[in-house]
Amino acid sequence: MPKFETRRPVKHSPDRMYALVADIERYPEFVPLCDALSIQSRKERDGKELLIANMSVGYKAIRETFTTQVLLKPDERAIDVKYIEGPFKYLDNRWRFEETADGGCTVHFFIDYEFKSRILGAVMGSMFDRAFRMFTEAFEARADKIYGTE
């Protein structure tokens, strides 16, 4: 039942921010709690790309892996993530990148999820909540590192 939504203005273009978030194989390098990420399959159709990905997350001695369907829609500057299997009852995640007048963009991040297990939810829930709140900051810091701060 945890849900988090934020809109964060950044100085980078929507295309650059979209590309950064769409490059999911790099997540273990900078995304909080992400230990590993692998792509099971990749299909392109009608200018969109559909990925099936396994993401391993960990905190202290706990490690969980889950599978998601990631729909990349570059023309819309949108990324939709749907849960397939793992420790969640459900997971729904959406990213949107809206251009601003100054050439930057507003990053819209939304996530709604619930763990299957109450015990896992109690142990991992507060850490996941903090991590999701840091996601947009982590992506902005990554963009600054890759694209520069000017």
Render pLDDT for 31-82 as a digit per residue (tens, 0 to 9): 988 999 999 999 999 999 999 999 998 877 778 899 999 999 999 999 999 9
> For 121-128, which contacts have Cβ atoms below 8 Å and span 24 or more sequence positions?
123/62, 124/59, 124/62, 124/64, 124/87, 125/2, 127/33, 127/59, 128/2, 128/33, 128/57
**Residue 81: predicted pLDDT:** 97
CB–CB of 79/92 below 8 Å? no
pLDDT in tens, 107-123: 999 999 888 888 777 77
Domains of the chain: 3-147 (3.30.530.20)
**Residue 120 to residue 62: CA distance in whole angstroms:** 9
CB count within 10 Å of CB 130 equals 12
